[in-house]
């Protein structure tokens, strides 16, 4: 397993529409495992493949509160087949929008259809935090982000801040020199 780098706003790859997985092969299973490890490490409660720069319709979720109670969900080609008219508000965050949280209104309950690790079609009902996270993840697969639900002023403010952070990080990476080796006598 491996921890993969998570891409952040304003990386344009986050705006790509992810493509359907056509077969659950070894490569897809490895990606699911790497995504789960990456999500637990972050830590987060959901992760879409596009957040690790893979534009495929693959999601991992675990809303369990403790490490002991881990219950990962592996969702391949997930879709919402029913959504309640009743809405609920949740204070959301996103690993691709670091250090920003805001309220988003989404369906309170959803029915989700997806393919599992064995390649079988499955369905489940979600409410509460799980319903919110699943809808947040499916939005990523369409190139959406939770900040798209905010006012233009709020969204532009957070994008501007993260653009500055990205520029700073790029310059810092350019200026980072390899540590001098012993032989070089440094
Ligand atoms: O870790 C995460 N927490 C979270 C909290 C409220 C609503 C949605 C989320 S998902 C987020 C991880 C993430 O960015 N998934 O795409
Ligand atoms: Ni997210």
**Number of domains forming the structure of the chain:** 1
Structure tokens at 55: 């534009």
Position 4 in a domain: no
**pLDDT of amino acid 68:** 82
- SS3 category, 147: helix
Position 174 in a domain: yes
Residues paired with residue 126 on neighbouring β-strands, in sequence order: 110
Position 3 in a domain: no
Residue 175 sits in a domain whose CATH number is: 3.90.45.10
Confirm or reject: Cβ of 94 under 6 Å from ligand 1. yes
Position 5 in a domain: no
Q: Ligand 1: which residue has its CA nearest to atom 16?
A: 47
Confirm or reject: Cβ of 130 under 6 Å from ligand 1. no
Q: What is the pLDDT of residues 84-120, one digit of tens each?
A: 999 999 999 999 999 999 999 999 999 999 999 999 9
Confirm or reject: Cβ of 45 under 6 Å from ligand 1. yes
Position 135 in a domain: yes
**pLDDT of amino acid 184:** 54
Ligand 1 mean position, distance from CA 48 (Å): 10
Pairing of strands 87-94, 58-61: unpaired
Please tell me the distance from the alpha carbon of residue 109 to that of residue 126, in angstroms, as a whole number: 6
**pLDDT of amino acid 67:** 80
Judge whether residue 168 has pLDDT over 90: yes
Task: Decide if 139 is catalytic.
Answer: no
Cα-based torsion angle of the residue sequence 146, 83, 57, 29 in order, rounded to the nearest 10 degrees = 110
Position 185 in a domain: no
Q: Which domain holds residue 132?
A: 12-180
Position 96 in a domain: yes
Q: Ligand 1: which residue has its CA nearest to atom 7?
A: 92
**pLDDT of amino acid 158:** 98
Position 156 in a domain: yes
Q: What is the pLDDT of residues 129-164, one digit of tens each?
A: 999 999 999 999 999 999 999 999 999 999 999 999
Q: Which atom of ligand 1 is nearest to the CA of 45?
A: 1
**pLDDT of amino acid 66:** 83
Residues paired with residue 162 on neighbouring β-strands, in sequence order: none
Please tell me the distance from the alpha carbon of residue 30 to that of residue 46, in angstroms, as a whole number: 17
Q: What is the DSSP string of 90-121?
A: EEEEETTEEEEEEEEEEESEEEEEEE-TTS-E
Neighbours of 28 (CB within 10 A): 21
The residue whose CB lies within 8 Å of the most ligand 1 atoms, and thus the one to mutate among 52, 92, 110, is: 92
Is pTM beyond 0.85? Reply is: yes
């Amino acid at each position: 397993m491996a921890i993969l780098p998570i891409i952040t706003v304003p990386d344009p790859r986050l705006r790509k529409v992810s493509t359907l997985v056509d077969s659950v092969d070894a490569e897809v299973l490895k990606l699911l495992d790497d995504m789960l490890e990456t999500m637990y490490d972050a830590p987060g409660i959901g992760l879409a493949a596009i957040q690790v720069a893979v534009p495929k319709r693959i999601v991992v979720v675990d809303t369990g509160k403790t490490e002991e109670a881990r219950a990962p969900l592996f969702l391949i080609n997930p879709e919402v087949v029913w959504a309640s008219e009743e809405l609920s508000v949740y204070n959301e965050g996103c690993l691709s929008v670091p250090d920003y949280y805001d309220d988003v209104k989404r369906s309170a309950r959803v029915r989700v259809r997806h393919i599992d690790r064995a390649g079988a079609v499955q369905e489940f009902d979600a409410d509460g935090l799980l319903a919110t996270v699943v809808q947040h993840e499916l939005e990523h697969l369409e190139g959406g982000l939770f900040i798209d639900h905010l006012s233009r002023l709020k969204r532009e403010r957070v994008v501007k801040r993260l653009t500055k952070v990205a520029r700073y990080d790029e310059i810092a990476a350019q200026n980072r020199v390899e540590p001098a080796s012993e032989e070089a006598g440094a």
